[in-house]
Amino acid sequence: MRILGTGSYLPQNKLSNEDLSKLVDTNDEWVVSRTGIKSRHLVKDENTSDLATKAAKAVLETTGVDVRDIQLVIVATSTPDVFIPGVAHQVLKNLHIPNAMAFDVNAACTGFIYALDVATSLMQTHAFKYGLIIGAEAFSKVIDWHDRNTCVLFGDGAGTVLLENHQEKNQIIYTSCTAIPDVDDVLKSGGIAVNNPFNRQKTDNFFLGMKGQEVFKFAVRVVCESVNKALVETGIDAQAVDYYVLHQANSRILDHVAKKLSVPSEKFYSTLEDTGNTSAASIPIVLDVMDRKQLLKKGMKIVLTGFGAGLTYGTILIEW
């Protein structure tokens, strides 16, 4: 499986910590020191499918792959525009992809890792030539903009990789995804209540709720566990990895993981300052930013690790 290209898209509209301090009782110093985030991009006249479409369009343009050759589209998202059709089906329509297996994956912030894992297997099983794997989120839709505990953390955006089923070249050398039950509901959004002739419940809270310190501890623990498992199973030393591209939740999580793995924090590339936490979109956005900055060189070993609600987590090791 070959990674033919990457793409990303961030809404133009930005919200700085300074802007946020006019909405809730917070300040730039608190947010930067706790999270590393200075500003985030938020949708205005766009929705998740627009972000996904624009990220996918970018990679199609740079690689020159014809939409008629795309046989698989997976969108990792937990903030779709509508319940049906899926965001992947809206991408199909927007980009005039005539015929492809298409579906959404919801594994929260680990969604892109799950999607890439599933795509690798599916493309081999069905001998698909090209697959678009997208992470896209408009998380700002499910945030309570009066809750300073959560609203400072998130942003909107999309990222994508274009996979080619290449017989000689395999860049995805290890995949592992899992989930453990979130018994204490440390990370959970509201939903749509049952409303039918038998039960007329009211939907009262749609917003994301989070037990921040529990999430922090979970993240550091499972990321280290997942990365170490990948390194042991592939026989690669932690120091031999060129970059660790982790889900961008919080710079302190990245620093703690770097310390625990005894790896220099410079190997943990981050876009948090400008993007905030874009959930399932964060890993492909980082990859695209790094690729455009020409930081990724042929043969480099890169660990991708996601973690999030579910509680989900997973690691993919790629060779660029």
Residues that bind ligand ACO (CB under 6 A): 26, 30-31, 34-35, 109, 148-149, 152-153, 187, 210, 212-213, 215-216, 249-250, 252, 277, 307-308
Is 177 one of the catalytic residues? Answer: no
Q: Find all residues with CB under 8 Å of 142, minimum gap 6, and list them.
A: 79, 189, 190, 206, 207, 208
Nearer to ligand ACO, 23 or 82 (CB): 23
Nearer to ligand ACO, 58 or 136 (CB): 136
Least Cβ distance, residue 43 to ligand ACO (angstroms) = 18
Contact 54, 158 (CB under 8 A): yes
Is 277 one of the catalytic residues? Answer: yes
Contact 290, 230 (CB under 8 A): no
Least Cβ distance, residue 92 to ligand ACO (angstroms) = 28
Nearer to ligand ACO, 196 or 213 (CB): 213
Contact 231, 261 (CB under 8 A): no
Contact 317, 174 (CB under 8 A): yes
Is 151 one of the catalytic residues? Answer: no
Least Cβ distance, residue 82 to ligand ACO (angstroms) = 24
Nearer to ligand ACO, 152 or 287 (CB): 152
Distance CA 58, CA 159 (A): 9
Least Cβ distance, residue 161 to ligand ACO (angstroms) = 20
Of 47, 247, 250, 256, which one is the catalytic site residue?
247
For 146-170, b where at least 16 C-beta lie within 10 A, e where not — what string?
eebebbbbbbbbbbbbbbbbeeeee
Distance CA 226, CA 81 (A): 32
Dihedral pair phi/psi, residue 271, rounded to 5°: -110, 10
Nearer to ligand ACO, 23 or 240 (CB): 23
Of 106, 109, 151, 165, which one is the catalytic site residue?
109
Least Cβ distance, residue 93 to ligand ACO (angstroms) = 30
Q: How far is CA 314 from CA 104, 191, 260, 309, in A?
A: 18, 25, 18, 12
Q: Which residues are catalytic?
A: 109, 247, 277
